[in-house]
Structures are given as structure tokens and as C-alpha cells.
Amino acid sequence: MSGLLLYHPDCLLHVPPRPHPEKPERLQAVREALERAGLWDRLPREEPEPASLELLELVHPRGYLDQVRRASREPGVWLDPDTYAVEGTWRAVTVAAGGAVRAVDAVVRGEASWAFALVRPPGHHAGFRRAMGFCLVNHVAAATRYAQERLGVRRVLVLDWDVHHGNGTQEVFYRDGAVLFASLHQEGWYPGTGAVEETGEGDGEGLTVNVPLPAGVGDEGYRTILEEVLIPLGDAWKPELVVVSAGFDAHHTDPLGRMQLTEAGFGRLASLLQEAAGRWCGGRVVLVLEGGYDLRGLSRCVEAVLRVLAGMGGPAPAGHPEVPYAVVRERVRQVRRVLSTYWSL
């Protein structure tokens, strides 16, 4: 069984009214890179249907969605200092959410072994009633809720490896006892949330895992976090589905981050996760594009991850400089100390 790539050209309709890092050229650059590499036609691909209002209401209240729809009838509205809406925005966000939902649907139903939703605008900063950080609708949250409520999936691991904390996704699942949400992000960075001590409440206590990382962490540091924190958590949680907020702005060339990951490093993260998911849930992994604002870096990272997932191998390790190993080890100890209240790792 092969994987599945979800893409819809209407994601390009969300066009900034002034120069902005979140722009249609992001997807265009990725597509062109995949075409040059021969992957665009080689990988199975679908154009998803737009997500319905009923489906989006699994996460966002109707009043908020109506606000986004109204803003999308104007030539340019700013919903926060960083987040815009234009006449094509509603169509773009609904096909983006539809791509994430279809990716989950295909993997859970056994139509694909893995799926990657190549969509924009990103979604992981969008909370219940708030657009922020370039995000208007939380695609990963909507797809996860769909898996829970329509497909009967009982335990989901949502991993966010974007350089920015996935505060909107955390908000949605903070009290949910069926979702283990883990975020690897640059500490002290936008939006300022995601401290180690934020661990969930109520039924979700202990199921929010934040790993804020100092600037300069790269391939080896991220691998260490996966091997010593995230994969042991997954072994204990035994998710039935893994959903990744796959941002690539932790790449060393990205203008909106200060991390040192390479495309080979991202490929290894995908490989480690795919291998672990083989034990947990028959390899059911869905990735949904979030950030990534250096066009060449973004394209190379997506290509590397797709090659790994498709069993084609990834790029050779680059040996890019990063912070000393001892820095990452200390952060691992801090995180494991906090989690020891809830988990035996």
C-alpha cells in the first residue's frame, strides 16, 4: 500500500494584501521542486473536497467561522497583526482543512499507508475563537476531531515540530483525555507559550507535552528528543493514529526561526516516527504542512520527508553545526522530570 499526497490549487487563493512571509509561492515552490525530482507524478495524489461547516464546527464555533467568512468577502482584512483574509481565503482554508481530513480518512480506512496534506495557510496557532500567527482554521485539530468522532479512533498522538509552539492545537486538546499533544519548539519564541509546565488539565492532565528548545538545536538534538522523550511516550500511550503538524521553519535557512535542522534531519525525524508508528498503529501517520518560509529550504525538507515516507531513502546527513549535546541532555532531564508525575519513561 502506498502513501497519498493531498493538494488543491485553491490553497493559492489566499494572497497577502501586502508583502508577507505566508504566501502562495510557498506551495508553488514545493510543487516545482517535487516536479523536478519526479515525485509529483510518481506519488498518488488527490484534490480534496472543502471541509463543510459542520466539520469545522467540531473545533470552531459557528460565530467565529462566520467572522472568517465575512472577512473573506473583502479585498483585505487583518484579523490580527500577522493574519490576513482576502476574497479567496475562505475557499483556501476550507480546502486546506479538507486536505487534512481526507489524509486522516485515507489512512484510518486503510486506503493509504501514510498521507501528507500539502496545504496552506497554516493552522496550528488558530484557537477555538481566534485567528493568529498566519492561521485561521486549525486543520490538524479538525482532522483529529474527525478521526475521533466520525472514525472511532480512541487515542491520537499529535506531534507539532514547527519552530513555533502550537498554541491553538494545545488549546483545543488541553482537557481532552484521548489526545496526547506534544510540541517541539524554540523557547522564548512566538507566541510565547509552550512552557514545560503546561501539561494539560482535567481529563487531559499529563497529555500535553511541551519541549521548548534553545536556539541552535539541530539534527542530533531533535533526534535525541524523539528517541528519549517522544517515542517512549508513544510506546506508553499506544496511539491508534499519529498526526503531525509538519512545520519546516526549524530549518537552518528559515527567516522566522533560529534552529539548525537540515533537510536530512527532517527526513530522519520522519523515519523515526514512521518506524515507531509501525509498532503503535500499523504505521498510520498523517502529516499536515504548517510553517516554512525559506522557499528553497521548505521545498528540500518536504522532498526529503516524502522520500523517506515512500521508502526511497533520504539525503545524507549534513553535519550542520548546532548547540552542544549537553544542552539538549539537560532539557531532556527537565522534561522527563515534569512528566514523571504522569508517566514512567
- Whether residue 121 has a cis bond before it, omega within 30° of 0: yes
- Annotation marks residue 125 as catalytic: yes
Read off the pLDDT band of 287 (50, 70, 90). very high
Report which DSSP code applies to 187.
Answer: T
In whole angstroms, give the CA distance from residue 13 to residue 230: 36
With 0-12 / 13-18 / 19 or more C-beta atoms within 10 angstroms meaning exposed / middle / buried, residue 150 is middle
- The closest alpha carbon to 278, from 289, 270, 268, 267, belongs to 270
Conformation bin of residue 24: beta by default, left when phi > 0, alpha when psi is -120 to 50: alpha
Is the model's pTM score more than 0.95? yes
Residue-wise pLDDT tens digits, 160-184 = 999 999 999 999 999 999 999 999 9
Name the β-bridge partners of 244.
Answer: 159, 287
Conformation bin of residue 262: beta by default, left when phi > 0, alpha when psi is -120 to 50: beta
Locate 113 and state its grid cell: 499507508
Does residue 243 contact residue 159 with C-beta atoms inside 8 Å?
yes
Catalytic residue among 8, 14, 125, 164: 125
Q: According to the model, what pLDDT value does residue 227 have? A: 98
Q: CATH for 4-339, among 3.40.800.20, 1.10.1740.10, 3.30.300.20, 3.40.50.1820?
A: 3.40.800.20
Sheet holding 179-186, edge to edge: 45-46, 4-6, 114-117, 285-289, 241-246, 156-160, 179-186, 208-213
pLDDT at 147 over 70: yes
With 0-12 / 13-18 / 19 or more C-beta atoms within 10 angstroms meaning exposed / middle / buried, residue 191 is middle
Mean pLDDT, residues 27-47 taken together: 97
Mean pLDDT, residues 223-247 taken together: 98
In whole angstroms, give the CA distance from residue 191 to residue 185: 11
Q: According to the model, what pLDDT value does residue 314 have? A: 82
Mean pLDDT, residues 257-274 taken together: 98
